[in-house]
Amino acid sequence: MTPLSSPVPHDNPQVQSLRRELKNELLARRQAETDIERFFDLSLDMLCIANAEGYFIRLSPAFTRTLGWSLEELMSRPFLDFVHPDDRASTLLEVERQLGRGEPVLEFQNRYQHQDGSWRSLSWKSTPHPDGSLYAIARDVTDREQAAQALRRSHEELERRVHERTAELQQRNRDLETLLYVSSHDLREPLRSISNFSQIVRERYGDRLDAKGLDYIDRVVRAAQRMDQLMEDLLTLSRAQRLAMPHEEVRGKDLVNAALAQLDETIRRTSAHIHVAPHFPSFRVNKTWITQALYNLIANALKFHRPGEAPYIDIAPYRVMDETTPMVGLVVRDRGIGVEPDQAQRIFQLFYRAVGREVSGTGAGLAIVQQIAHRHGGRAWVQPRDGGGSEFVLVFGSQSIIEEPPTP
């Protein structure tokens, strides 16, 4: 009887080739498993595979280094047992979402219990497998979270202290303003009495006084008047700092005319030459306070003219780009004694008086101008004028712009 098939000899070339392929494939698989084991063992991150039943089926030694539990302990219980109670619902929802939609998770964070009872914050990245398992990488971010919390606490504490300090300073400012107002009001009456009675003494009894006595009387009057003006300036500065400044549309020319009207007597007395530009834009400002600021700048120019010369003052609109923000305002140019570069900023400080300026004044006028400018979102400064003298610039924020000045 003839067999249906005869056995293949072991030395058949095809058999030998097949055996070699199987052996090589087996070796490759073993090498791959060895590489994976080495990868799991050496990884600083926590590598794991979890099944659909909620158990770890493979873990890297990093889990033990991070959480203290042995790998056997971690794989003997559902992994949710190790999750913080407050994080279990969100963790389960994330797992169900991955398995249901097959979507990877690039960032998820929860807390796992350490063997010593403490909690470690873990940041996860995972992807689902078609067989229902999850492949995931976790990293211990506890130190980072603690540092972030410490930073938040420090920030909150700093904000609290700033708030308390701000409230304290505001209260002190209110107290100072009240003291300033009351003191100024109470002081001005006796000062005016001193000035008035001194003048009466001079008028009624001047013929009985010698030149020195009359000089003393004049000094008392001037000192009292200067102190009264100082009190008035301090009150003005206080009001400029705290009172509301409602804005309205005002023509620039009207602001200039209002300030000049208040200085009419001084202008006539000094024979000043005043040139006003023919065209001004309109501004959205507080008319009263901008008139006050402009008054101070023009009065300053009238005061600090060159000896033996009548003041020459030019008043015009001004426009400048402050970084990327347009600012508009006014400029008062004079041909006076000028301002030294090292004093250009200090003259806007309260009570600062430029060295060598032997002219009466309280040293508060330019500080008031700067405060008014700030309240309008702008600033004031001085710069040299071509040909000598100074240019005092007062600009407002972009919210004050209404229209461009017409072309002459």
pLDDT above 50 (res 142): yes
Task: Report the pLDDT value the prediction gives residue 131, as an integer from 0 to 100.
Answer: 84
**Residue 62, pLDDT above cutoff 50:** yes
pLDDT at 9: 57
Residue 283's contacts (CB-CB under 8 Å, 6 or more residues apart) are 249, 250, 252, 255, 290, 328, 329, 396, 400, 401, 402
Residue 21 to residue 386: CA distance in whole angstroms:
96
Whether the CA torsion 9, 11, 16, 17 is positive or negative: it is negative
Indicate the pLDDT class of residue 243, thresholds 50, 70 and 90. low
Q: How far is CA 300 from CA 76, 336, 362, in A?
A: 89, 10, 11
Residues of the chain by 3-state class (helix, strand, coil), percent to 5: 55, 20, 25
**Across residues 131-152, what is the average pLDDT?**
88
Measured between alpha carbons, how far is 45 from 139 in angstroms, rounded to an integer? 5
pLDDT for the residue numbered 376:
83
Average pLDDT, integer, range 296-322 = 85
- Which residues neighbour 15 within 8 Å (Cβ) at sequence distance 6 or greater? 8, 9
The CATH number for 147-240, chosen from 1.10.287, 1.10.20, 1.10.10, 2.60.40, is: 1.10.287
Region(s) of the chain under CATH 1.10.287:
147-240
Angle between helices 211-242 and 365-375 in degrees, nearest 10: 10
pTM over 0.85: no
Give, in degrees to the nearest 5, the angle at Cα 33 between 29 and 34. 115
Mean predicted confidence (pLDDT) in 140-162: 89
Closest CA to 329 of 256, 387, 278: 256
Contact between 253 and 280 (Cβ < 8 Å) = yes
Strands of the sheet with 119-128, listed across from one edge: 56-59, 46-50, 134-140, 119-128, 105-113
Indicate if the pLDDT at residue 230 is higher than 80.
Answer: no
Q: For the domain covering 43-140, report its CATH number.
A: 3.30.450.20
- The residues, ordered by sequence, that sit 6+ positions from 369 with a Cβ below 8 Å of its Cβ are 293, 296, 297, 348, 380, 392, 394
Give tens-digit pLDDT for 338-395.
Answer: 887 877 778 887 766 654 445 555 667 788 888 888 888 888 888 888 888 888 999 8
CA pair distance 60, 83, nearest whole angstrom: 18
> What are the beta bridge partners of residue 289?
none
Q: List every span in the chain annotated with CATH 3.30.565.10.
A: 246-400
Q: Tens of pLDDT along 77-98?
A: 999 999 999 999 998 888 888 8
Q: Which residue has the higher pLDDT, 14 or 71?
A: 71
d(CA 400, CA 12): 100
Length of the chain: 408
Residue 403 pLDDT greater than 60, yes or no: no
What contacts 386, CB < 8 A, 6 or more positions away? none
Is 117's pLDDT higher than 90? yes
Q: What is the pLDDT of residue 34?
A: 62
Looking from the CA of 386 toward its CB, the CA atoms found within 13 Å total 0
**Quick check: 202 pLDDT over 90?**
no
Better-scored residue on pLDDT, 183 or 312: 312
Residue 329's DSSP bridge partners are 318, 395
Give the other-Cβ count within 10 Å of 311's Cβ. 22
* Structure tokens, 396: 């407002």
Give percent above pLDDT 70 in the chain: 80
- Alpha-carbon distance of 303 to 316, in angstroms, equals 19
Query: Rounded distance, CA 211 to CA 216, Å?
Result: 9
- Strand 312-322 relative to strand 105-113, pairing: unpaired
Portions of the chain given CATH number 3.30.450.20: 43-140
Residue 245 has pLDDT above 60, yes or no: yes
CATH topology for the 246-400 domain: Heat Shock Protein 90 (3.30.565)
Q: What angle do CA 292, 365, 373 make, to 5 degrees?
A: 55
Query: What CA–CA distance (Å, rounded) separates 85 from 330?
Result: 67
101 pLDDT above the threshold of 70: yes
> How big is the CA angle at 322 (ends 298 and 258), to the nearest 5 degrees?
25
Residue 357 has what pLDDT?
A: 46
What pLDDT is attached to residue 185?
Answer: 66
Give the per-residue pLDDT at 3.
52
